[in-house]
Amino acid sequence: MYRWLNGPGSAFKDPLPGSTNYLNAYDPAGNLIRARTRSDPTLGGARRGGGDEVESATGAPRNNALEQNVASGKPIPMETHDDLMPFPMNRLFRSQPVLSEELRDEIHKMVQDGMSVRTVSEKLEVDMQRVGAVYRLKTIEHQWIQEGKKLATPYARAVNEMLPKTPAPPNPKKRAIPHESINDLPVHSATTNQLFHPVSESMHFNRTSAAKVFARNLLPAEHRIPHPEMVELAKVAQEHRGRDDMVINRREELVKMEKELLDAKQERMKAREAAAKKIENPRWLFRFEEIKAESVGKDGRARGGIGARYGVPPQDRKKGQVKIPTRVG
């Protein structure tokens, strides 16, 4: 064990700055695999890196070319797909990147400047829920700094150095590096039931028709994705090729519509907050709202009602239920 610690294992004692330091990124001799020269990819483990192997003060074989890059301040090559395997025996697991500190600061700054969460998500290709979480946590962090509270900055820095990171875009005009998929279709509870719906051969059955089969008020897939405006902008760009002004005008219209919807939502929240009766004591804040008994609807499960409304379990997987269509409507 001590031979390994003083030999190839010494590469993990002093990790590379700005890079992950997983076992799979090194060869048995302790050399960084991705630092090998492209001109001679057939080099073995003893000479990977494009330079002769030299011994360090501890007797460990070190990569001469890699040490020269670190000493000269040259950037180390980015991690490859194989470098992101923290467990060598589990080759199917890859460490997922996290947001860099610079990217989190950029998200907080963009939202603070008045940009909507949807626009920030589309611009930086970060999920809207993550954008909201980053903004809230960064706001708390700035509040704690103003209050003089101590932060766990060394711990956060140490953890971030172990993980791959998505950097902030160096140029605002260029496209950001995608962090994750931002337009995945969420699974609606109405679509989890197993059903058979017969249709005639002459019927044009599309996504809208499929949504109506699951639920009467269910929107089609292109309207339920987090960023439906991206689909509309892609259609405009395809219909008016070479007319960038059409895409820009449509984007401005969508931003204006989103701002109007957000303002209307805030007005409704303010009206509801003003209509509620509040009773405050040193420990609790009680809020009372006027509720009508008729607001629960005929079945007692209306959206505007009050109280617990438990779901009805589906019968599609229950034994004895007929699961195939018995007639064609």
Confidence of residue 36 (pLDDT cuts 50, 70, 90): low
User: Which range is least confidently modeled, 115-119, 142-146, 254-258?
Assistant: 254-258
Q: Using the predicted structure, report yes or no on whether residue 129 has a pLDDT greater than 70.
A: yes
Average pLDDT over residues 247-256: 80
Q: Using the predicted structure, report yes or no on whether residue 140 has a pLDDT greater than 90.
A: yes
User: Which range is least confidently modeled, 47-56, 90-99, 116-125, 304-313?
Assistant: 47-56
Q: Using the predicted structure, report yes or no on whether residue 101 has a pLDDT greater than 60.
A: yes
Are 96 and 113 in contact by the 8 Å Cβ rule? The answer is no
Cα 211 from chain centroid (whole Å) = 26
Confidence of residue 4 (pLDDT cuts 50, 70, 90): confident
pLDDT of residue 186: 86
Cα 126 from chain centroid (whole Å) = 5
pLDDT of residue 55: 37
Residues 6+ apart with CB under 8 A from 141: 151
pLDDT of residue 283: 86
Cβ-defined contacts of 310-317 (< 8 Å, 24+) = 311/189, 314/192, 314/193, 316/193, 316/194, 316/195, 317/194
Are 61 and 46 in contact by the 8 Å Cβ rule? The answer is yes
Written as six digits, the tokens of 118 are 């949807």
Q: Using the predicted structure, report yes or no on whether residue 323 has a pLDDT greater than 60.
A: yes
Using DSSP, how many helices (H) and how many strands (E) does the chain show?
A: 10, 6
Q: What global pTM score does this model have?
A: 0.69
What distance in Å separates the CA atoms of residue 117 and residue 127, rounded to the nearest whole number? 9
Average pLDDT over residues 25-35: 82
Are 57 and 51 in contact by the 8 Å Cβ rule? The answer is no
Task: Burial-class residue 26 by CB neighbours within 10 Å (0-12, 13-18, 19+).
Answer: buried
- The DSSP bridge pattern shows strands 165-166 and 277-280 to be unpaired
User: Which range is least confidently modeled, 128-137, 155-164, 215-224, 308-317?
Assistant: 308-317
* Selected residue with higher pLDDT from 14 and 284: 284
pLDDT of residue 190: 86
Written as six digits, the tokens of 66 are 């890699």
Confidence of residue 238 (pLDDT cuts 50, 70, 90): confident
Confidence of residue 329 (pLDDT cuts 50, 70, 90): low
* Mean pLDDT of the chain, nearest integer: 79
In this structure, the chain runs to a length of 329
What distance in Å separates the CA atoms of residue 229 and residue 250, rounded to the nearest whole number? 9
- The DSSP bridge pattern shows strands 277-280 and 98-99 to be unpaired
pLDDT of residue 39: 37
Beta bridge pairs of residue 285: 280
Mean pLDDT comparison of 32-41, 141-150, 228-237, 306-315, highest-scoring range? 141-150
Are 203 and 329 in contact by the 8 Å Cβ rule? The answer is no
What would the pLDDT profile of 283-320 be if each residue is shown by its tens digit?
888 988 887 878 777 777 677 777 655 566 667 777 88
What would the pLDDT profile of 147-162 be if each residue is shown by its tens digit?
999 999 999 988 888 8
Confidence of residue 135 (pLDDT cuts 50, 70, 90): very high
Are 306 and 295 in contact by the 8 Å Cβ rule? The answer is yes
